[in-house]
Structures are given as structure tokens and as C-alpha cells.
Structure 1
């Protein structure tokens, strides 16, 4: 019996050590450089691409959710977002800015399957380089290093602005919202998908919810999550939006992604050979954050928000008027 207690003691000590290392080695947001460096590292070693594919975002599993291959669900997400935003009705040659394009998975689908002329931007030079490597000749798509908080494009440059899960990295959501709408042509469409926190103005976070959110922010270089309601207000407050900002919640459709992302390491053990012990340890340290994400989204602490807005034809709109419309 003593050996059992000894084994248990060693196990608990090891778990305590691993937890301490996890907390000590957090990657809190410090500046745009901390975000760029994090993505540069993940892109350079190839681990994230190996397990998550060319789409560094969640997948769409249907409504109600169905069992689906993890990588297939990710590409399905892009097509579902195109349809939800009404972009499938736009002509070939439509100009699109993909804000936070990662290694270009969504940009390539938009160019290849819909005939759009796509410009993908990311703050990570390594992501731009990898996106260019993965893009076949003949696609009307280009990738640039640019900062979503200060886009280098003039006003009214694009027919569509598209963004998936980039918002949590933005330190000032009001500036981010204005930049997204600013570069749209009058009558242009912004379609955005993002991780959001529950609106704490309606229901304040309790002690444990604050601790969970702090880990979600610090582990992946996020300054803050906005709420669906709050970001909708910021978009409308730009004074550049025509009519209503349309929103909906895709939490249920995307929720299986979190456990599926962990399961990839079990079903594809060849990654252990390719990336060695250091790669295994690096992947393993992300598991607690993935589980916390699953907990936060399933418990209603976080929500997966979808946003659609139209750039106004007139720029003389009040910055004090907004409306929130929910659409399934």
C-alpha cells in the first residue's frame, strides 16, 4: 500500500510542477510584437499547421452539430461564413481584404472557389512567407504584413472586409472596428467571426470566471475579448455603417472544435516523430488552454460571434446611433 501512496505523491508533485510551469510560461499580450512573435514561432516550427491545417480557426459542425473531420470542418466554416454574409451572391473579381489571414487558408478558398481578388494581411512575417508558399499560381491573392490597428490602405479600398478570430488580439476594439469599416467602399460588406466574452454589463463575471478569462487572455497573447453586444455598438459608433449591424451566435456550431483539436494529437501520433520531444512538450502545454476554452464556451462565459455590416454611402452619419439585430 505504501508504494501506492508514494506513486500518488510523485504524480501529484509532477502535476503541481507542470501547472506551475504552465502558469509561469504564459504569453501575455505586451504589444503587437508579442502577437507577431508568437505566430512567427508557431509558423516556423510547423506544429500548428500540422495539427490545425491551413485554417488557424475553429470549424463549423452544422446546426445541430454533427460528427465531422476536424480539418473538413474548418474549410466548411469558410463556406458557411460566405453564405451567412451573402458573399456568394457577389460577382467574380470582388475585392476582399482578409484581416488576420494566418497562413492564407480562407484567402485561398475565397479566391479559388468564389473568384474574388483577395489581399490577406497578418502582423506575422513568417505567416506571410508560409501563405505565399502554400498558394498555387493563378490565384488572385496576395499576402502582406500589415497591422489591423492601422491598416496601410486608403479609405474605401475594398468591396468586402473579412476577418476570422483576429479581434481578441486587438488592444483597442474601437480603433479595430473603425479600421475595418474605413477601408470598405460605400455599400461594401464587412463579415467578421470572433471569440467574444459574455457581456459583463448585463451579468458581471464572478471570481472564478475572472480567473478563467485571465488565463485565456494571458496564454495566447490576447489583451481582451469584446462582447457581441459591445463590438456591435463599436461598429455602429464609427458612424460609417448603413442600417443595422447583424449578429448571430455560432457557439454551438463551433464548440466541438476544442476537443477535436486535442484529439488530433492522439489520432495523428506521427507528429511526435516529426517534431520530437520538444514539439510534443510544446503541444502538450496548450492542452489546458484548449480545455479552458471548451469550458468557457460551453458554460456561456464566452460566445462565438458573427457580425455583418454595410459601409454607408454617406459618411455624415451620427456616431451615437446603433442597432443590434440577431440573425440565425
Structure 2
């Protein structure tokens, strides 16, 4: 019964309740600057870090209902994508670029467990500062403020390129792919994961789905979503992509992350309370968007795309 009524409740939230709440502090994409400002704010208030740890991205959960800790699932996601993409075939000391590195969680795993020399970039100065603070001395990680659509590296500078959940913030997906493949050396590995919509041209969204998509775009500074097939075609048509582009939809592996990201607040209440009363309001504000994300991914309106190819 609850499953049948859920769309109705979501519609009421979207049309009546949420516009009032979200209008106070909307995060609509305007430019890369709005992305930087949003992530600076999230990093400064430390709420996401306290609740979710060093990884803002979703986790990987084994099929069959196997229980796994939320933070461990995030670490597991990194290892699964490394293995699936073939990045683990690169020798120690290989140069890896982490595009959209956040506060450096994935970069540190790539350096610590695989022996890579990792450069992480993000548009957010706050994230770079925090990533540097969290990185132990001697670990081969360095972090820089840089726009992913204008990478300040020579062609073929890296043996591997890694990017997780960054592409949804890019207003030019073709330029995003072009820049990553440009700085990837011939024979290098690209490993990428992102939030995608289903193919909306072949299967147009309903009125309700359009409302959901609008909120998912405007609340977390996303300019647009593309489908998995659309991004595969972008990669395939790039002149630097000479290898076969392979993609998969990892919805079934990652979907438990949405509820877990809310439950972390219940499991770790002092993580929120220790940051002061305002953090409670901030955490509650994110719950409706997380619930909409969960619904969209479960229903197939959104898809979690993973991609691999060779330079």
C-alpha cells in the first residue's frame, strides 16, 4: 500500500512543501562557480564528512541482500570500479588523474592500495584544502583547484583517468569527455561513474517525472543529465578513444546507498548534534532530495552508469 501511495506523497512534497523549503537556499546551476560555492559550503559545514566519511559518492553493495556498512560500501565501490575498469592492470607509480576528487577519499585509496601517483582536481577550493589536510605525509597524492572542462595538463600526461559522480555537474558533457581523453596517454585507462537519466528522447518523462528531474537538477547544482547511451556515443566519437567503450548500469549495486545516507543520521546522531543546531536543519533539508533520488533510481528514471575505455 505504501508503495502505491508513495508517488502521491512525493507529488505533494514537490508541489506544496518543498518549494517553500528549497526556495530559501536553492542550488540551481548557473555556472561552474555555483558548483564550487555549493561544495565549498558542504565542505565547510563538515556535515557530509561527519555523516558519510571521506567519500561523498555512493557505495557498492553485493547482490543478494548481503549487509555491508555504508562507509565500507563506499570503499568497496572504489575497489570494484578499479577492477571492472582494468585500472588495476597499471603498474605501481602510474600517474592517475582523479577528476572531481572531492575531499580526496578515492585518491587516497588509489595511492595507498594500488601504489599510484594521484593528482586530484576539483572546482572547489574548500575541498582541495580539506583533501590536503586529510592526506598523510608521504602518500603520493596532490590536489589542485581546476575546472574539469579546462584541464591544465599536456596531452597524454596520465596513465589513467578516474572520475566518480562528477559529470552530472558539467554543462558540456562532450568537452568533459574530450578533456579527459586528451590528457590520457595512448593505451591508458579511463574509469568513470556517473548519474545518468534514462534515454528521455526514446522514453519521454511523464508530468510527474519531469517534476522530479527538475528538483534533482536544481537542488544539487546539476545543469543537465544525459543517458548512458548518449555518453557512450560521446566517448566513442572522440578521436582519442581508439579502444572499445564499455558501459553498465550499476543501479542494483548502488541503490541501497540512498536510504543508508539518511540512516547514518540515525546511527550517528552526535555527528550532527556536535556541529550545532543549524546542522540539524541542514541535514533535514537534504532528505527530500535523497528520497527523490532513491525513487528515480529505483524506477529507472535515473541510472548509475559506469564506463571504461582505453586511450
When normalised by structure 1's length, the TM-score is 0.88
User: Using the alignment, how far apart are the partners of 1:16 and 1:32 within structure 2?
Assistant: 30
Which aligned segments of 4 or more residues in structure 1 are displaced greater than 6 angstroms? Answer: none
Q: Which digits, 9 at most, give the CA deviation of each residue in 1:282-306, with x for residues without a partner?
A: 1100000000000000000000000
| Equivalent residues in 2 for 1:270-289, closer than 5 Å | 270-289=270-289
User: Using the alignment, how far apart are the partners of 2:142 and 2:24 within structure 1?
Assistant: 38
Kindly indicate whether the alpha-carbon contact (under 8 Å) linking 2:246 and 2:309 is maintained by their aligned counterparts in 1.
yes
Shift of 1:244: 1.6
User: Using the alignment, how far apart are the partners of 1:212 and 1:104 within structure 2?
Assistant: 30
User: Using the alignment, how far apart are the partners of 1:39 and 1:20 within structure 2?
Assistant: 23
Q: Alpha carbons of 1:65 and 1:144: their partners in 2 closer, same or farther (altered >3 Å)?
A: farther
Partner in structure 2 of residue 89 of structure 1? 89
Partner in structure 2 of residue 315 of structure 1? none
User: Using the alignment, how far apart are the partners of 1:73 and 1:41 within structure 2?
Assistant: 25
Kindly indicate whether the alpha-carbon contact (under 8 Å) linking 1:149 and 1:179 is maintained by their aligned counterparts in 2.
yes
Partner in structure 2 of residue 79 of structure 1? 79
User: Using the alignment, how far apart are the partners of 2:17 and 2:261 within structure 1?
Assistant: 24
User: Using the alignment, how far apart are the partners of 1:265 and 1:76 within structure 2?
Assistant: 21
User: Using the alignment, how far apart are the partners of 1:305 and 1:187 within structure 2?
Assistant: 22
User: Using the alignment, how far apart are the partners of 1:25 and 1:272 within structure 2?
Assistant: 19
Kindly indicate whether the alpha-carbon contact (under 8 Å) linking 2:47 and 2:272 is maintained by their aligned counterparts in 1.
no
User: Using the alignment, how far apart are the partners of 1:111 and 1:21 within structure 2?
Assistant: 41
Query: Does structure 1 residue 169 correspond to structure 2 residue 139?
Result: no
User: Using the alignment, how far apart are the partners of 1:148 and 1:226 within structure 2?
Assistant: 17
Partner in structure 2 of residue 246 of structure 1? 246
User: Using the alignment, how far apart are the partners of 2:65 and 2:238 within structure 1?
Assistant: 35
Kindly indicate whether the alpha-carbon contact (under 8 Å) linking 2:194 and 2:304 is maintained by their aligned counterparts in 1.
yes
Shift of 1:21: 1.9
When normalised by structure 2's length, the TM-score is 0.93
Partner in structure 2 of residue 325 of structure 1? none
Query: Does structure 1 residue 67 correspond to structure 2 residue 74?
Result: no
> Which SS does the other structure have where 2:174 is aligned?
helix
Number of aligned residue pairs: 298
Shift of 1:23: 4.3
- Over the aligned positions, Cα root-mean-square deviation in angstroms equals 1.5
Kindly indicate whether the alpha-carbon contact (under 8 Å) linking 1:64 and 1:253 is maintained by their aligned counterparts in 2.
no
Kindly indicate whether the alpha-carbon contact (under 8 Å) linking 2:50 and 2:272 is maintained by their aligned counterparts in 1.
no
Kindly indicate whether the alpha-carbon contact (under 8 Å) linking 1:258 and 1:294 is maintained by their aligned counterparts in 2.
yes
User: Using the alignment, how far apart are the partners of 1:24 and 1:39 within structure 2?
Assistant: 18
Shift of 1:217: 0.4
Larger Rg: 1
Query: Does structure 1 residue 203 correspond to structure 2 residue 203?
Result: yes
User: Using the alignment, how far apart are the partners of 2:189 and 2:209 within structure 1?
Assistant: 35
Kindly indicate whether the alpha-carbon contact (under 8 Å) linking 2:122 and 2:128 is maintained by their aligned counterparts in 1.
yes
> Which SS does the other structure have where 2:244 is aligned?
strand
Partner in structure 2 of residue 152 of structure 1? 152
Partner in structure 2 of residue 294 of structure 1? 294
Kindly indicate whether the alpha-carbon contact (under 8 Å) linking 1:65 and 1:252 is maintained by their aligned counterparts in 2.
no
Partner in structure 2 of residue 25 of structure 1? 25
Partner in structure 1 of residue 49 of structure 2? 49
User: Using the alignment, how far apart are the partners of 2:117 and 2:290 within structure 1?
Assistant: 34
